[in-house]
């Protein structure tokens, strides 16, 4: 008697762009439908609420500017996640890397104030200098975790999570002690105007950090897809033992992936300081390091896909904030919708390797085929 199965494995898995796009779109639609049910006690027309979110986030230059500002650090964190996770280095310390990058950025920027050592430094020298300082700070911070993993083994997830708390306490020490500005608030002096990132959309807060994030996404894509070193990182991620057998120095590649991931995460701190906050203060990260990991997963660990995912995710956040102020819709509802989108998209990946079948259909096919001779 033939066995009936509800789920069976696909041979081979479905990896076509059309199938991926279809599953992703279906997951988003289902999440919006479920979220609409949660909105009914607050608004009789969930569709209008969704349209208001889109309009507020993308329907004007002002809204688009806020969306791009929120998306910029998410893109950079997502890029760091892609480099690390593609190498099977599951780093989760981007919150700390962001804070270290922000601290290094502020330290260099304050040196450009009048009467300081870098005063009067032209922008074409200052910005590469501050980018290099931030990248190095975050890279060394994450690279230390990579070195521990490659040399002594252990779980990099746990170690990297704990380094976030160390970074938070370190920044709290800096803004409460050596770098504290006069006053009651634990924060640094405002950085000089000459060190701020310029705005590239008139009458908005969209700063050049977004262009830096786009450039970084393109470079990461080219690095992983078109260079031998990127190939070695991906090969190490597929099978460290096989890569080592093929002559790839996997330990060195693991540390390199950690350094690059931490550096990209630190650039998220740089754009927050030079483009938004203009100083270092407590709570500057606000969970961005963890949301960026989610964005990378939504983008299927693809650098260019993560750019789109970051913009859409940030747009939902910007639109929901406006909707909360105008219509009284609780922010928790939008957060649930965002969570549903993430969960359903990740769950939808199972459909690439498995498919649902009806038991009676399997029995009918068996009966039609008849007994084997």
- The 10s digit of each residue's pLDDT in 248-280 is 999 999 999 999 999 999 999 999 999 999 999
For residues 287-311, give the mean pLDDT: 93
Give 91-125 pLDDT, tens digit per residue. 999 999 999 999 999 999 999 988 888 888 898 99
pLDDT of residue 365: 47
Q: How confident is the model at residue 4 (pLDDT cuts 50, 70, 90)?
A: very low
pLDDT > 70 in the chain, percent:
91
Contacts of residue 325, Cβ cutoff 8 Å, sequence gap at least 6: none
For the chain, give the mean pLDDT.
Answer: 88
CA 5 to chain CA centroid, Å, is 38
Residue 168 confidence class, pLDDT cut points 50, 70, 90: very high
pLDDT at 370 over 80: no
Whether the pLDDT of residue 371 is over 80: the answer is no
Q: Which residues contact 321 (CB under 8 A, 6 or more apart)?
A: 331
Which residues lie across from 187 on neighbouring strands? 281
**Helices 288-298/61-86 angle, 10° precision:** 80
pLDDT tier, 361 (very low <50, low <70, confident <90, very high otherwise): low
User: Is 364 a residue whose pLDDT tops 80?
Assistant: no
What confidence category does residue 347 fall into, taking pLDDT thresholds of 50, 70 and 90?
confident
pLDDT tens digits along 221-251: 999 999 999 999 999 999 999 999 999 999 9
In this predicted structure, what is the pLDDT of residue 5? Answer: 57
Strand partners, 356: 7
CA separation for the pair 286, 105 (Å, rounded): 18
pLDDT in tens, 28-72: 889 889 988 888 887 778 888 888 888 888 988 999 999 999 999
> What does the pLDDT average to over 287-294?
94
- For residue 298, the surrounding DSSP H or E stretch is helix 288-298
* Structural element, H or E, at residue 356: strand 354-356
Per-residue model confidence as pLDDT tens digits over 118-159: 888 898 999 999 999 999 999 999 999 999 999 888 889 999
- pTM as predicted: 0.90
Name the residue ranges covered by the structural domains of the chain. Answer: 68-299
Helix 61-86 / helix 46-58 crossing angle, nearest 10 deg? 90
Query: How much is the average pLDDT of 324-353?
Result: 79
pLDDT for 337 equals 85
Could you tell me which of 332, 351, 345 has the C-alpha nearest to residue 295? 345
Residue 79 has pLDDT above 70, yes or no: yes
| C-alpha separations of 40 from 46, 80, 172, 188 in Å | 7, 39, 42, 45
């Amino acid at each position: 008697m033939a066995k009936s199965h509800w789920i069976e494995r696909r041979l081979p898995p479905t990896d076509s762009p059309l199938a991926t796009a279809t599953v992703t779109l279906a997951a988003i639609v289902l999440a919006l439908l479920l979220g609409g049910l949660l909105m009914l006690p607050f608004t009789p027309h969930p569709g209008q609420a969704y349209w208001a979110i889109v309009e507020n986030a993308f329907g004007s230059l002002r809204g688009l500017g806020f969306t791009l500002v929120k998306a910029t650090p998410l893109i950079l964190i997502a890029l760091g996640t892609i480099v690390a996770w593609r190498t099977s280095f599951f780093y989760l310390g981007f919150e700390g890397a962001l804070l270290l990058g922000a601290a290094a950025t502020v330290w260099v920027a304050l040196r450009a104030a009048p009467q300081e050592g870098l005063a009067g430094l032209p922008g074409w020298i200052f910005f590469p200098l501050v980018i290099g300082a931030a990248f190095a700070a975050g890279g060394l911070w994450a690279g230390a975790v990579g070195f521990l993993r490659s040399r002594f083994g252990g779980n990099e997830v746990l170690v990297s999570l704990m380094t976030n708390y160390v970074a938070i306490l370190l920044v709290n020490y800096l803004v409460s002690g050596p770098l504290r500005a006069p006053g009651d608030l634990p924060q640094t002096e405002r950085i000089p105007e000459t060190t701020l990132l310029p705005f590239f959309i008139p009458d908005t807060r969209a700063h050049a950090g977004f262009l830096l994030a786009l450039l970084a996404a393109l470079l990461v894509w080219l690095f992983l897809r078109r260079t031998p070193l990127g190939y070695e990182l991906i090969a190490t991620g597929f099978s460290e033992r096989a890569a080592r057998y093929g002559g790839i120095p996997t330990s060195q590649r693991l540390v390199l992936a950690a350094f690059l991931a931490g550096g990209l995460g630190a650039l998220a701190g740089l754009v927050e300081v030079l483009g938004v906050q203009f100083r270092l203060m407590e709570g500057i990260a606000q969970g961005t390091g963890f949301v960026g990991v989610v964005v990378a997963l939504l983008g299927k660990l693809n650098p260019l896909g993560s750019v789109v995912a970051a913009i859409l995710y940030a747009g939902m956040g910007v639109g929901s904030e406006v909707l909360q102020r105008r219509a009284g819709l609780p922010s928790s509802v939008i957060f649930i919708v965002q969570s549903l989108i993430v969960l359903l998209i990740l769950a939808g990946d199972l459909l690439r390797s498995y498919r649902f079948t009806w038991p009676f259909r399997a029995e009918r096919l068996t009966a039609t085929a008849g007994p084997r001779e």
